[in-house]
Structure 1
Amino acid sequence: MRWLLPALSTALALVVSLLPAGAATLRHATTVSSDSVRLSDIFSGLEQGQDRILGPGPAPGGTIEVSGQQLIAIADQYGVEWEDQSASASITIMRAGRILDEAYFDALIRKNLPELGEGPISIALRDFHPLTVSTDEPEPVVLSDVKWDQRSGWFSSTVYRAHPTGDLASDSFMLTGIIHATQRVLVYTRALPAGSVISAADVRIDDSYSGHLPAKAVVNESEIDGLSVSRGVVAGAAVLAQDLQRTVVMHKGDPVMITYEAPGLRLTIAGRAMEDAGIRQQVRALNEASGMIVSGRVTDGSNIAVELSSHPVPSDPNTARRLAMSTRSTMP
């Protein structure tokens, strides 16, 4: 930069000779917030009226290294009495910068596309690179030529710096991406092979799912209780109703063990299932000893867990006979 050259004009020498000289100290590192560098950014302890603009500073987020020889030239040129002057000294001049990240451009896109509406959306930028701008610019960039195809979700625009730096590569560039409406669905937390029974640990709620849904998606964890997947699924995929099936492990009429559990108490009684059911599904069963009908949760193919707080109801005289008649034959 021209302000780093040691040349001194005759006119400037005359002005400098009139400035009071005082002992100054070199700053070994300094940060500037504007686009110019002042003498006081390099030396502290200047005399009153001695400070002045030297020239342009680095780009936002950038640095300039000033060597000892250049510092000596600057001090001589501007009449600065520099303590401990040395050709081996140096200073790093940094420019404060503000990074415009994906979150910033996400908000800017929403502001420039009012037709997006109030519903939840997902914006995925393509080949995005953060941009560093000055900290004193409230609106450092503007979007132009904004285009959005609502059918495909494809978005494109041109970004322009509000205050160009002269660097064509960063003063304007294309911003592209995909914008999709999002929705709240259940997704798988891990891959599952076909036939796997789904547990609560296998799914989670995704409040901003933006993937393609070819069929009805499941939105409530209670809807998958006791179900299994009919095909292999991958982590992150939406839970689709068409991929779920009820795996029957207990059939109507099957002999079962009814277990009542409470702190310090466990009571097991023989009974019969009154309907088909899968793992963790609620099912009714006949307590063969009391003739009462209870409701419990299937723990496996032959056991039902009943809470003591549940309310059994009487069965009619023909219930046991009908259940016995519906018991599956074990003969081939």
Structure 2
Amino acid sequence: MVVQTATPQAATLRSATVITSETVRLSDLFADLEPGQDRPLGPGPAPGASIQVGGGQLLAIADEYGVDWLDQSPSAMATITRAGRMLDQTFFAELVRQNLPEIGNGPVAIELQDFHPFVVATDDPKPVVLSDVKWDQHSGWFTATAYRGRPVGDITQDSFMLTGVIHATHRVIVYARSLPSGTVLSASDVRMNDAYAEHLASKTFTNAAEVEGLTLTHGVVAGEAVSDQDVQRTILLHRGDPVLIAFTAPGLHLTATGRALEDGGASQYARVLNLMSHMIITGRVVSASEVEVEPGSGGVPSDSAGMRSLAAAALAPPRADLSLR
């Protein structure tokens, strides 16, 4: 009777391996090891870093631990990378907030100065500890000392100064794109920013409807807050101009002739006089010759003083200015 014995299966080289442990094992280099053959080899790379093991070293390791592997070659190469977790500005900003309860829960922006992100182990529950946190509430500047939870033995990396400034943020309308001077703003040109951290030197807007139809007095950059110094009212309808008054409702469309009682810009509301009913109506300026009256909007009777003012405006010479701040 002939007894057949199983032929051990040859191991295969792992050309690229990602580990989470601090230690490199034989199984990180070779797959299909025999039972009980795996063992630790030495320290692994730092979190986020890699090491390469060349063919000569692989042959020596395989020989020392009795690993029979396929395609043995001095030109073989294995790369071992240790997984890591990136600690970025968002992480440290939240850490600063946790260490400064006096900031409160209001909207603030925490900006770090000369910051460089670094990588820590993925299983490190408390990778950084802040100490000596100081904050000048008047200027907004803060300083702190950051210590690694797991020191790496390098004094230049195990602790460092964390500095920055804390700004109160604002909810404002900002430009959605860069725009040239003379642009008449529409709703698509702006967007809401709930945490705008830049300094506000002048009045800003918090509602897109407030800037629709205004004209830019100079070029602007995407992301800037929309300021009253950027815009001017675009006059389409001048006081005394003839105008068509339009009223539209489901199944109904009425028009009447009138005259403007005041200047009005695009999408703004202006008072007009209905020349047939002599009622003063408020409508939205659609163009230089049309005002749209919304359903439910009522009129008020005109008085003799208003009529005289309208007549004087109609007889006045045309003006050269086309816009009003």
1:284-309 Cα deviation digits (max 9, x unpaired): 222223434433212344332334x3
The equivalent of 2:130 in structure 1 is: 143
Secondary structure (helix, strand or coil) at the match of 1:222 reads helix
Distance 2:153 2:140 in 1: 33
Change (3 A) 1:328 1:122: farther
Distance 2:44 2:289 in 1: 80
Residue among 107, 113, 122 paired with 2:100: 113
Native 8 Å contact 1:99 1:131 kept in 2: yes
Native 8 Å contact 2:279 2:302 kept in 1: no
The equivalent of 1:41 in structure 2 is: 28
Native 8 Å contact 1:63 1:93 kept in 2: yes
How far does residue 112 in structure 1 lie from its aligned partner after superposition? 1.6
Q: Do residues 185 (structure 1) and 185 (structure 2) align?
A: no
Native 8 Å contact 1:60 1:133 kept in 2: yes
Distance 1:279 1:321 in 2: 27
1:25-75 Cα deviation digits (max 9, x unpaired): 133232221111122222334344433221111111222211222122222
1:157-202 Cα deviation digits (max 9, x unpaired): 2322211223444333333222211010122333453x76543333
Q: Give the counterpart letter for 1:140 in structure 2.
A: P
Native 8 Å contact 2:285 2:291 kept in 1: yes
Of stretches 68-77 and 236-245 in structure 1, the one that deviates more from structure 2 is 236-245
Change (3 A) 1:127 1:260: same
TM-score (norm 1): 0.79
Change (3 A) 1:181 1:328: farther
Change (3 A) 1:196 1:37: closer
Distance 2:171 2:130 in 1: 30
The equivalent of 2:3 in structure 1 is: none
The equivalent of 1:9 in structure 2 is: none
Q: Give the counterpart letter for 2:118 in structure 1.
A: L
Residue among 270, 285, 290 paired with 1:283: 270
Distance 2:127 2:318 in 1: 81
The equivalent of 1:88 in structure 2 is: 75
For structure 1, the residue ranges without an aligned partner over 5 or more in a row are 1-20
1:201-224 Cα deviation digits (max 9, x unpaired): 333221101111223332223333
The equivalent of 1:315 in structure 2 is: 301
The equivalent of 1:70 in structure 2 is: 57
Alignment of 1:1-332 (within 5 A): 23-28=9-14, 29-189=16-176, 190-193=178-181, 197-228=184-215, 233-241=220-228, 245-260=232-247, 268-307=255-294, 309-313=295-299, 315-316=301-302, 318=304, 320=307, 323-330=310-317
Change (3 A) 1:82 1:220: closer
Secondary structure (helix, strand or coil) at the match of 1:327 reads helix
How far does residue 321 in structure 1 lie from its aligned partner after superposition? 5.1
For structure 2, the residue ranges without an aligned partner over 5 or more in a row are 1-6, 320-325
1:254-310 Cα deviation digits (max 9, x unpaired): 332324457898765321123333332212222223434433212344332334x35
Native 8 Å contact 2:136 2:142 kept in 1: yes
Question: What's the RMSD between the two structures over aligned residues?
Answer: 3.2
Change (3 A) 1:173 1:185: same
Native 8 Å contact 2:23 2:42 kept in 1: yes
Of stretches 53-62 and 288-297 in structure 1, the one that deviates more from structure 2 is 288-297
Distance 2:222 2:230 in 1: 14
TM-score (norm 2): 0.80
Count of aligned pairs between the two proteins: 310
Change (3 A) 1:311 1:61: closer
Q: Give the counterpart letter for 1:104 in structure 2.
A: F
Native 8 Å contact 1:295 1:310 kept in 2: no
Q: Give the counterpart letter for 2:11 in structure 1.
A: T
Q: Give the counterpart letter for 2:149 in structure 1.
A: A
1:104-131 Cα deviation digits (max 9, x unpaired): 2222121122121100111222233221
Change (3 A) 1:109 1:328: farther
1:62-112 Cα deviation digits (max 9, x unpaired): 222112221222222223344443333332222111211222222212112
Distance 1:85 1:312 in 2: 93
Distance 2:148 2:105 in 1: 28
